[in-house]
Structure 1
Amino acid sequence: MNPLTDQELHQLAMNIVGKEMEEDGFEFLSINSKPKKDPQFVALKKGKLHFVVVRAIRYPNNPVEYDEDLMITMRDHAVKFKARTFYAGVGLANSNNYEIPVHHDEDYVVNYAGLIEIK
């Protein structure tokens, strides 16, 4: 059994967030799948620009807690483009045992509260 790498966890989190955004009517202008190369998504919705920072969060860490300094920097950058800034933390855990990593070919549990606007 091999656990998902940080990059694979990040990709999984991006897929979860991207799918929800797509269903919610966002149009993607750019997607950056490199971890910590922010923002991961630049998208339009109703003519308004959105910057979205995605993080895969391993259990037991709280996916709604974010790096405030980073998000303020992102918000300040977004303002220059008249964009709104959002944080999307996706909690991921092994569904068989939260204490062990998420593995390939095993079910996992998602804890995702949606986009959190940084104002």
Structure 2
Amino acid sequence: MTPLTEQELHQLAMNIVGKEMEELGFEFISINSKPKKNPQFVALKDKTLHFVVVRAISYPANPVEYDQVFMNKLKDHGIKFKARTYYAGVGLANSKNYEIPVHHEEDYTINFAGLIEIK
């Protein structure tokens, strides 16, 4: 069995967040699927610009906890563009055993609390 790479985990998280944003009525302006290029999503909703940082988080780390210093820097950057800034941590775990990596051939569990606005 082959574990998912960091890029594949990130892409999975991007798909989960992107689908949620579509359902919430966001219009995508740009999408950057590289894990270290931020924000991953720049989108419009209600004529307001939104920056969204996506992170794939492996068990046992908590997907709602984020690097506050980094996110505040990105929020300050967003303010220059009159954008609201969000963090989207997607917890991913192997559904058979949380202690082993997510594999291509096995089901996985998602822990996603939605977009967290950085205030």
TM-score (norm 2): 0.99
Residue 79 of structure 1 pairs with residue 69 of structure 2: no
Q: 1:105: Cα distance to partner?
A: 2.0
Structure 1: runs of 5 or more not aligned: none
1:48-94: CA deviation from partner (whole Å, max 9, x where unpaired)? 00000000000000000001111001000000000000000000000
Q: Does the residue aligned with 1:75 lie in a helix, a strand or coil?
A: helix
Number of equivalenced pairs: 119
4+ residue segments displaced more than 4 Å:
none
Q: Distance in 2 between matches of 1:118 and 1:3?
A: 32
Residue 38 of structure 1 pairs with residue 38 of structure 2: yes
Structure 2: runs of 5 or more not aligned: none
1:97-108 → structure 2 map (5 Å cutoff):
97-108=97-108
Computed over aligned residues only, the root mean square deviation of the Cα atoms, in angstroms, reads 0.4
Residue 10 of structure 1 pairs with residue 28 of structure 2: no
